[in-house]
Structure 1
Amino acid sequence: MTGHPRLILLDIDGTLTDGETRGLDLELLASLADLNRRARRRPELPAVTLCSGRPPAYVEAILQAIDGHMPAVFENGCGLYVPAGYGFLPHPAIGDGSVIEEAAERVRATLVASDRVFLQPGKLFSLSIFARDPADKPHLLAWTRAALGPLCSRVELIYAASCLNVMPRGIDKGAGVALLASHTGIRPEEILGVGDADNDLAFLARVGRRGAPANANERVKALVDYVSPYATGQGVRDVLRHFGVLDATKTASA
């Protein structure tokens, strides 16, 4: 990809923020909101949106905080939140959702009932499984496989920074980017993506430019074009500067 990207696509937890329970970087959110306001005035400048595993309502709230107007990916590719018209569009491959409903029943009957895990509230089309004891996170994959049994062949199990996601088979953040591209007309190769964890690999592999904060795992670092020496929000600032987005936007709008 030559020139500046047409769209900036950010993961939330571990990238834009420090993760669950941690305070938000309000200065960074304000800077991204400024980029979005400038992009509305000058369509040739890139807007900023989100590609997150979080539920739709949370993605909506963070998109409001950055004054976003472009669609955002929620639940690791399960759908798009579209600010124009206040729309929530599930991915066409989701189907009737019965597979995830059955998976939730099995996880609740075994892992939740034994108080080893809890499920993140608010998910509509997927599951995010958290270990009660964070030290047990490495065991989540084996525990979940045992709980799901033959249902494993019909879902995807993908680690995020702090949990294990159970996804409908064929759905990931890469599928979310494809849906976003179809909805907006912006080609994946025109997108700059920033992420940190395994569930970001599928979308980072599709976009034209890729960056990661210092806290990203080694698989993400091996994939991206630039790894910031700074973690999370400071890393996002640095990645945007590295690719000329912040400076280019300020110069163009001066």
Structure 2
Amino acid sequence: MRFNTLACDYDGTLTLDGTVDEPTLAALERYRAAGGTLLLVTGREMDELLRIFPHTDMFERIIAENGGVLYCPQTRQSRGLADSPPAELVASLRRNRVEPLAIGRVIMATREPHQHAVLEAIHDLCLEYHIIFNKGAVMVLPSGVNKATGLKAALKELNLAPKQIAGVGDAENDHAF
């Protein structure tokens, strides 16, 4: 097997209309049975993913929140790979009625066209944060945090080399990995 590890995005890559179908699950299981390692790389918050996807245990690691959180399905332990969103940034966005506004362990997310309000708040507060777009979603993360940095943390934990990995994704936030 040339690539012994497959890193997959969730929404739009593994899912069709929000769910992972049986043929896709079967293909992932065949890959594992052949000795392959599976990694899931998603922009979703971990709690939400665990609620909607009951098959997380087929993955060795899950990189969630667009690279901000690393989760081990076997131990059900997760760790943040960066700081939580600053309270003053959250307060500023709420004050400016940025809705929807999801606050994760590391990520904050809203929808277009709120990127302008987010950038203004980041600027006004002199924060080192950046925006990653994903099909209309506006993901707000500490600078340097993306799916690639989360994947690197998972590879280090699993003692895997980047040249062993094939990555599959479908959107702007997948380019990094």
1:106 to 89, 92, 100: 92
Specify the alignment match of 1:72 in structure 2. 62
RMSD: 2.3
Partner-residue secondary structure (3-state), 1:107: helix
Specify the alignment match of 1:126 in structure 2. 107
Quick one: distance in 2 between partners of 1:52 and 1:88? Answer: 14
Please list the CA deviations of residues 35-82 of structure 1 after superposition, one character each: whole Å capped at 9, or x if unmatched.
36515xxxxx21322100100123345664264140110001112110
Specify the alignment match of 2:26 in structure 1. 31
Shift in Å, 1:33 = 4.7
Shift in Å, 1:15 = 1.6
Q: 1:141 to 1:12 in 2, by over 3 A?
A: same
Q: 1:179 to 1:105 in 2, by over 3 A?
A: same
Provide the TM-score with structure 2 as the length reference. 0.86
**When you count strand as a share of all residues, which structure comes out higher?**
2
Q: 1:31 to 1:67 in 2, by over 3 A?
A: farther
For the pair 1:175 / 2:149, whether they are aligned, the reply is yes
Contact 1:72 1:80 in 2 (8 A): yes
Quick one: distance in 2 between partners of 1:152 and 1:189? Answer: 37
Shift in Å, 1:160 = 1.2
Quick one: distance in 2 between partners of 1:10 and 1:62? Answer: 17
For the pair 1:88 / 2:78, whether they are aligned, the reply is yes
Contact 2:71 2:79 in 1 (8 A): yes
Structure 2, unmatched stretches of 5+, are none
Based on CA coordinates, which of the two structures has the bigger radius of gyration? 1
Specify the alignment match of 2:170 in structure 1. 196
Q: 1:101 to 1:198 in 2, by over 3 A?
A: farther
Q: 1:63 to 1:14 in 2, by over 3 A?
A: same
Q: 1:14 to 1:152 in 2, by over 3 A?
A: farther
Structure 1, unmatched stretches of 5+, are 40-44, 131-136, 204-254
Specify the alignment match of 2:132 in structure 1. 158
Q: 1:191 to 1:156 in 2, by over 3 A?
A: same
Shift in Å, 1:182 = 0.7
Tell me: higher relative CO, structure 1 or 2? Use CA pairs within 8 A at least 6 residues apart: 2
Provide the TM-score with structure 1 as the length reference. 0.62
Please list the CA deviations of residues 157-189 of structure 1 after superposition, one character each: whole Å capped at 9, or x if unmatched.
110123000001221111101101111011122
Shift in Å, 1:145 = 1.3
What is the number of equivalent residue pairs in this alignment? Answer: 177
1:57 to 17, 28, 47: 47
Contact 2:50 2:56 in 1 (8 A): no
**When you count helix as a share of all residues, which structure comes out higher?**
1
Query: Which residue identity does 1:124 align to in structure 2?
Result: R
Quick one: distance in 2 between partners of 1:147 and 1:66? Answer: 35
Quick one: distance in 2 between partners of 1:194 and 1:58? Answer: 21
